[in-house]
Amino acid sequence: MRADDDIRFLKSIKKPITSGETIAMVPSLVGTPSQARGETMETVNVDRQINLKGEVCPYTFIKSLLTLEEMEAGQVLRVVVDYLPSVENVPQSLKNEGHDIVEVAQINDTDWAITVRKLALDEEE
């Protein structure tokens, strides 16, 4: 049921978020380490950005994960998507893989930015 609640929440947001406004956080992702530290796009340096507009699940997740594999632990990736299910699925799947979701924010009427920090995984340490 939690995924359904998150999708309803995301669909309920009608206007884009502009600079200085509170960002839209996916409710089930609240409480990640970055959020506990108060980090947002305004305080985090993005090391790499990928544009996945036009892509659908599971490709949005797979391409995000492959990009993170090329990055160093601690680096930050920004993923831009326009497929609403990806707004829920990509952050949740990346969180399940052990990465830190910094922010999920609507950037205009159709696009969302998912910001994720690569965390060191056991096999990489």
Q: How far apart are CA 61 and CA 32, in angstroms?
A: 19
Enumerate the β-bridge partners of residue 115: 78, 103
- Catalytic member of 57, 80, 107, 119: 57
- Judging by beta carbons within 10 Å of its beta carbon (0-12, 13-18, 19+), is residue 125 exposed, middle or buried? exposed
Strands 76-81 and 48-51: what pairing?
parallel
Q: Which of 85, 106, 8, 123 is nearest to 97 (CA)?
A: 123
Q: How far apart are CA 94 and CA 58, in angstroms?
A: 12
52 tagged catalytic: no
Q: Which of 70, 123, 59 is nearest to 93 (CA)?
A: 59
Q: Which residues are catalytic?
A: 57
